[in-house]
Amino acid sequence: MLKGGRARKPVIPVERTVRIRELDPFSRCGPDTSVEQLFRVDESLDGRPTVHLVYLDRHGWYCFHGRACPAVRDVHKELRIPMHVTNASSSANSALRARA
């Protein structure tokens, strides 16, 4: 019970599922693109679908929903890239990809 006799509402867990697919950045973004890697992340939160496009370019990793979007973390987890490398230079990210 909280102050004033109000009961705390129970926390209902959110069911979240994620599916990640790598896409060809040149066929999706064009031959002059600066995008080096591109991923489609299909997310479902309690049955509500959301599509994310996560990409790596010379400025770092982004989702079209923003740099802090959870889909960016999902792709990092899938690729086993540490989060502190999220927005490092693309040469550092290339070095990580070469080691994988």
pLDDT at 20 over 50: yes
- Contact between residue 99 and residue 82 where contact means Cβ atoms under 8 Å apart: no
- 4-18 pLDDT, tens digit each: 667 788 887 789 999
Please tell me what DSSP assigns to residue 83: G
Q: What letter would DSSP give residue 100? A: -
Burial of 91 (0-12, 13-18, 19+ CB in 10 A): exposed
Is the pTM value of this prediction over 0.85? no
Residues 36-58 pLDDT 10s: 999 999 999 988 999 999 999 99
Q: 18 pairs with which residues across the strands?
A: 43
Amino acid residing at 9: K
